[in-house]
Amino acid sequence: MAFYTCIHYSETIDRYYVGSCEDIKDRLSRHNAKYSKSTKAGAPWELKYTEFFETRSDAVTRELEIKNKKSRKYIEWLISTAG
């Protein structure tokens, strides 16, 4: 099974959202369908970055590492180095 850490961006509110999930397409569509309180104001969201992990634990650990940096510059650097 695959798990992901992903970064979404909302141009509407000019914010990034960092999360982890099993199904990237489903997660993005749920954000854009406004299912989550924390993301509904930002719809539409775009997927900007993903990292693959074999366990949910690893994906969540990486999500927290990114969030704990509290740095938009770091998130934008990750996105710019993805390719």
Give the count of domains, the chain: 1
* Structural domain that includes position 57: 3-81
Q: From CA 19, how far away is CA 41, in angstroms rounded?
A: 16
What's the mean per-residue pLDDT of the chain? 95
What is the 3-class SS of the chain, one letter each residue?
Answer: CCEEEEEEEECCCCEEEEEEECCHHHHHHHHHCCCCCCCHHHCCEEEEEEEEECCHHHHHHHHHHHHHHCCHHHHHHHHHHCC
Q: How confident is the model at residue 59 (pLDDT cuts 50, 70, 90)?
A: very high
Q: How confident is the model at residue 38 (pLDDT cuts 50, 70, 90)?
A: confident
Chain segment 3-33, per-residue pLDDT in tens: 999 999 999 999 999 999 999 999 999 999 9
- CATH assignment of the domain containing 75: 3.40.1440.10
